[in-house]
């Protein structure tokens, strides 16, 4: 049976076959399921700024070889992804616990882990969705480090960083909170609000992490600066130094976005996780003040691909499928409801998306 893949419009090639209808914002069929894409079709899709299409995976077309060569994406089942992910959590847990005890960073383990585990995880189709839905509520610190590494890598790929740059970026993501190693577990895992004093202590972690990594000359300076800058913000509102725009390193800006996205889409003791739709709104709000707008736009397109064709529950009690995404920075979809009618959330702003329920129906 043919498999279906969601492909970004910039990656679409002639010869690919549509697995689902492509709709216009009025719900009209622009291109039908089964159509073999020509240059004209692709040009029409690009003109309408469709962020993605669903295509049939078919080896006879021979597109996948080129596609994999360029993007190195792999289809993995959710179960296989989760197994690999849990193995990664175990390895990083042991590595971080050994750092806590010995104050020594096992760089060889980190490099091997990035190569053997983090790379394949971030190269998996649907990785962004998979990591949000792994139902484990313990080991937050380790999972957050892994997720920020994966999300940073996904964003790094979206902006077409070179392989060596990607590896450094992923290591910066993995080690971004390494400075928290020196903070006691009762403060780190405190379920309630931190006191002012505890908050000030927490804010030392980027500088602590940077100082800790300085002793490792094998690590690129860009990795260390990525760790140092992941809480800095373009408008100077961040910490530890209150740097602005060009003073903040590129990896620091990427890891910031990955850090925000993962923190907001993960369940915590004190609040429920938000949907990618809500987080996208926050990113749009912050992109012209605190974050890098170009990086945010690239990441918003990645989020759009990940929510394409999701089944969602709505605040009005209805459920439906995301069949179209308006070409705006915010993620504003048209939903095909269970009764076959269409609901444009851009025109019905009072209705919100409560949850993605792909796994719950």
For tokens 């790929």, the residue is: 157
Pick the piece of the chain touching Fe ion (CB under 5 A) from 88-96, 118-126, 169-177, 215-223: 169-177
Tell me the closest approach of the beta carbon of residue 20 to Fe ion, in angstroms.
39
Q: Does 167 participate in binding Fe ion (rule CB under 5 A)?
A: no
According to CB under 5 A, which residues from 176 to 215 bind Fe ion? 177
Residues 297-336 that bind Fe ion (CB under 5 A): none
Which residues, listed in sequence order, are joined to residue 132 by a DSSP beta bridge? Answer: none
CB of 207: closest distance to Fe ion in angstroms?
11
Using only C-alpha atoms, what is the Rg of the chain? 21
Nearer to Fe ion, 129 or 177 (CB): 177
Cβ proximity to Fe ion, 56 vs 263, nearer residue? 263
* Of 62-70, 162-170, 174-182, 240-248: span binding Fe ion (CB under 5 A): 174-182
3-class DSSP assignment, residue 81 = helix
In the bound complex, what is the minimum distance in angstroms from residue 298's beta carbon to Fe ion? 22
Nearer to Fe ion, 226 or 329 (CB): 226
CB of 62 to Fe ion, least distance (A): 44
Positions in 13-32 near Fe ion (CB under 5 A) = none
- Kindly state the smallest distance separating residue 44's Cβ from Fe ion, in Å: 44
Binding residue count for Fe ion, defined by CB under 5 A: 1
Tell me how far apart the alpha carbons of residues 143 and 134 are, in angstroms, rounded to a whole number.
10
Phi first, then psi, for residue 52 (nearest 5°) are: -160, 165
Helix locations, the chain, DSSP H: 39-47, 63-71, 78-102, 107-113, 119-122, 127-132, 140-158, 163-174, 185-188, 196-202, 205-214, 221-228, 250-264, 276-286, 293-307
Looking at the DSSP assignment, which residues form a beta bridge with residue 60? none
Residue nearest to Fe ion (CB): 177
Smallest distance, Fe ion to C-beta of residue 227, A: 9
Q: Cβ distance 279 to 265 under 8 Å? A: yes
Instruction: Please check whether residue 25 is in contact with residue 324, taking contact to mean a CB–CB distance below 8 angstroms.
Output: yes
Site residues for Fe ion per CB under 5 A = 177
């Amino acid at each position: 049976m043919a498999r279906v893949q969601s492909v970004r419009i910039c990656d679409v090639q002639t010869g690919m076959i549509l697995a689902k209808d492509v709709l216009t914002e009025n719900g009209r069929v622009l291109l039908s399921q089964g159509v073999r894409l020509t240059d004209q079709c692709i040009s029409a899709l690009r003109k309408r700024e469709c962020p993605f299409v669903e295509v049939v995976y078919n080896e006879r077309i021979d597109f996948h070889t080129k596609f994999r060569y360029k993007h190195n994406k792999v289809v993995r089942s959710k179960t296989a992804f989760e197994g690999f992910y849990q193995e990664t959590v175990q390895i990083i847990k042991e590595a971080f616990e050994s750092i806590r005890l010995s104050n020594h960073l096992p760089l060889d383990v980190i490099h091997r882990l990035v190569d053997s585990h983090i790379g394949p995880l971030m190269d998996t189709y649907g990785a962004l969705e998979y990591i949000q839905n792994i139902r484990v509520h313990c080991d937050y610190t380790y999972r957050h480090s892994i997720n920020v590494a994966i999300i940073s890598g996904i964003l790094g790929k979206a902006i077409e960083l070179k392989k060596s740059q990607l590896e450094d970026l992923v290591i910066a993501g993995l080690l971004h909170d390494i400075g928290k190693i020196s903070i006691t577990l009762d403060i780190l895992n405190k379920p309630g609000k931190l006191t002012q004093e505890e908050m000030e202590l927490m804010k030392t972690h980027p500088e602590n992490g940077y100082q800790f990594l300085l002793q490792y000359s094998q690590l690129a300076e860009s990795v260390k600066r990525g760790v140092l800058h992941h809480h800095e913000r373009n408008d100077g509102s961040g910490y530890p130094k209150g740097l602005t725009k060009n003073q903040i390193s590129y990896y620091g800006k990427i890891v910031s976005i990955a850090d925000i996205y993962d923190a907001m889409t993960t369940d915590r003791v004190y609040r429920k996780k938000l949907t990618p739709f809500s987080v996208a709104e926050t990113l749009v709000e912050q992109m012209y003040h605190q974050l890098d707008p170009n990086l945010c736009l690239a990441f918003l397109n990645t989020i759009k691909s990940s929510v394409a064709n999701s089944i969602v529950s709505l605040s009005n009690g209805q459920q439906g499928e995301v069949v179209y995404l308006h070409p705006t920075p915010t993620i504003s979809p048209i939903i095909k409801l269970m009764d076959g009618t269409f609901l444009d959330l851009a025109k019905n702003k009072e209705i919100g998306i409560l949850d993605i329920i792909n796994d719950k129906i």
